[in-house]
Amino acid sequence: MTNSDLTNEIIEFAKKMQGFVVERRRDFHQHPEVKFEEKRTGDIVEELLKQWGYETKRTAGTGVIGTLKCGEKGKTVALRADIDALDVKEENDVPYKSAFEGKMHACGHDAHAAMLLGAAKIISDMKDSFVGTVKLIFQPGEEGGAGAKQVVEEGHIDDVDAIFGIHVWVEVPSGVLATRKGPMMASSDGFQIKISGKGGHAAHPHLTNDPTAPAADIYNAFHKLVSRAVNPFSPAVITLPVIEASHGYNIIPDSVEMKGTLRTFDSDLRDMLVKRMQSLVECYSKGWGCNSSFEFFRAPYPPLINDPQLTDFALDVLKAIGPVMEAEMTMGGEDFAFYTQKIPGVFVQLGIRNEEKGIIYPHHHPKFDVDEDVLWQGVATYVLLAKKYLELN
C-alpha cells in the first residue's frame, strides 16, 4: 500500500469514527469537570485506552497518559488533549446541556478529549503500520491550573521527540485547519496587588492614608508601560479589570486589592515588564504612605512557540485533511507552551465557526458550542501527524 493510499485509509477511518467521537464529546459535555476534578473523565479515558492495548499511567492527579509501542525501534511522538471544563453556567438549549449547574465545557476541551480517543482507537487498530511509540496525553488543569507544567515535571515527555496538540477555534471557519511558525499564543500571567493604608471617613481624607490614591496611579502607570516602555513592534497587553476597595461612598478603605493579567510573546520582555510593574507598585504606595505587595496567584504560562521546521512538516500533512491557513497570533494563553519549551511541538487550530448553525460565540461564553461535523478532521489530524512524524528519517 502506498503512502497516499494509507493516508486516504486513515481519513476514511476517521470519518467512520465520527459517531463515536460525537457520542463521547456529548457525554463529556454533559458531565463537565473543572481543573483537577476530572476523575470521571480520566476514568473513562483510561478504561478505553486499556481496552485498546495502551499502557496507562495517571498524571497531574486526574490526567491519563496512554502509551502504545509499535515496535522496538523508532521515535516517540506525543499527542495532547486537555480535558477540563470551566466555572461557567451554560445557556445552550441542547440535549447534551451540562448537568452540573455553573460548570460547562465552554472552551471545547470535551471535543479535544473525544477526538484524541477517536485517534487512539485508529492508532491501535492500525498499530502494525506505525513504526515507533505513540504517547497520548489527556491533560487536566489547562484552565489556569498549568496542568501541562505538572506533566512535564513528572517526566512524561522526557523520552518524547515531538508533540502535537489541537484546539477547536471559533474564529476560524469550520473545517479549516490553521497553524503558524514561531510565536502563536502569548505568555499569560495572573497578578495580584494589595495596598494597605489607613481608612477613615471620606470627609476627612487628611486623617487617612488613602490606598485608593496609589491604586489609581498604579492603574494608569501600568497602561502607560505598554506605550512608553515597550518597543512598538513587540506586542504586549496589561489589563487590570479587578479593583476592590470601599463599599461605601463615604468610607475610605484600609486596603485595595487589584488583579490583572500580563501578556507578551517574548519572555525577556515579560521579565522586564514584571520588574517595572513591581517597582511602580512599591514606589507609588510608599509615596502615599502605604504598604504594598505584588505577586502571582497562579503559575505563569510561557508564550507558545511552534517549532518552525516541524510546522512546515505539519502544514504539509494537514493539506490532505482540509483547507489550511496561517493562524493569527493571539494574546490568549495556552499551557501547551510548557511542552514546546522542552521539546519541538506544533499547536493546530481546527476551525468550528458556522454561522448557519449559530456557532459564533467565543471561547468561555455561556453559549459556546462546537460544529460536530468537523470533529473527524481533528481525529485524522492527530493520527496523520503521529504516523507521518514517526516515518521521518
What digits encode the pLDDT tens for the residues 301-314? 999 999 999 999 99
Q: What gap in Å lies between CA 257 and CA 274, rounded to an integer?
A: 18
Task: Indicate the residue type of 166.
Answer: I
Mean pLDDT of the region 210-230: 97
CATH 3.30.70.360 fits 186-294, yes or no: yes
Residue with cell 510608599: 286
| Sign (positive or negative) of CA dihedral 194, 188, 42, 57 | negative
Q: Cell triple for residue 302? A: 510561557
Is 283 known to sit in a ligand binding site?
no
Residue 56, pLDDT above cutoff 90: yes
- pLDDT computed for residue 139 by the predictor: 98
Is 154 known to sit in a ligand binding site?
no
Phi, psi of 188 (to 5 degrees): -145, 115
Q: What gap in Å lies between CA 125 and CA 248, rounded to an integer?
A: 66
End-to-end CA distance of the chain: 20
- pLDDT computed for residue 72 by the predictor: 82
- pLDDT computed for residue 186 by the predictor: 98
Q: Cell triple for residue 296? A: 502571582
| Sign (positive or negative) of CA dihedral 235, 241, 246, 249 | positive
DSSP single-letter state for residue 205: G
Per-residue burial over 303-317, b if 16 or more Cβ lie within 10 Å, else e, is bbbbbeebbebbbeb
Is 107 known to sit in a ligand binding site?
yes
User: 107-128: per-residue pLDDT in tens?
Assistant: 999 999 999 999 999 999 999 9
- pLDDT computed for residue 1 by the predictor: 61
Residue with cell 477517536: 118
User: 167-184: per-residue pLDDT in tens?
Assistant: 999 999 999 999 999 999
* Confidence tier at 3 by pLDDT (50, 70, 90): confident
Q: What gap in Å lies between CA 238 and CA 230, rounded to an integer?
A: 11
- pLDDT computed for residue 176 by the predictor: 98
Phi, psi of 77 (to 5 degrees): -120, 140
- pLDDT computed for residue 5 by the predictor: 84
CATH fold group of domain 1-183+302-389? Aminopeptidase (3.40.630)
* Confidence tier at 59 by pLDDT (50, 70, 90): very high
Is 167 known to sit in a ligand binding site?
yes
Q: What gap in Å lies between CA 119 and CA 230, rounded to an integer?
A: 43
Mean pLDDT of the region 203-216: 98
What's the whole-number average pLDDT of the chain?
Answer: 97
- pLDDT computed for residue 300 by the predictor: 96
User: 252-295: per-residue pLDDT in tens?
Assistant: 999 999 999 999 999 999 999 999 999 999 999 999 999 999 99
Residue numbers annotated as active site:
301, 372
Beta-sheet strand order (sheet of 76-82): 55-59, 63-70, 132-139, 76-82, 162-173, 345-353, 177-179, 324-326
- pLDDT computed for residue 348 by the predictor: 98
Percent with pLDDT over 90 in the chain = 98
Q: What gap in Å lies between CA 63 and CA 129, rounded to an integer?
A: 28
- pLDDT computed for residue 329 by the predictor: 97
Residue 137, pLDDT above cutoff 80: yes
* Confidence tier at 393 by pLDDT (50, 70, 90): low
pTM of structure = 0.95
Delimiting residues of CATH 3.30.70.360 domain(s) in the chain? 186-294
Is 29 known to sit in a ligand binding site?
no
Mean pLDDT of the region 196-212: 98
User: 233-252: per-residue pLDDT in tens?
Assistant: 999 999 999 999 999 999 99
Delimiting residues of CATH 3.40.630.10 domain(s) in the chain? 1-183+302-389
- pLDDT computed for residue 267 by the predictor: 92
User: 336-363: per-residue pLDDT in tens?
Assistant: 999 999 999 999 999 999 999 999 999 9
Residue 190, pLDDT above cutoff 90: yes
- pLDDT computed for residue 375 by the predictor: 98
Residue 4, pLDDT above cutoff 90: no
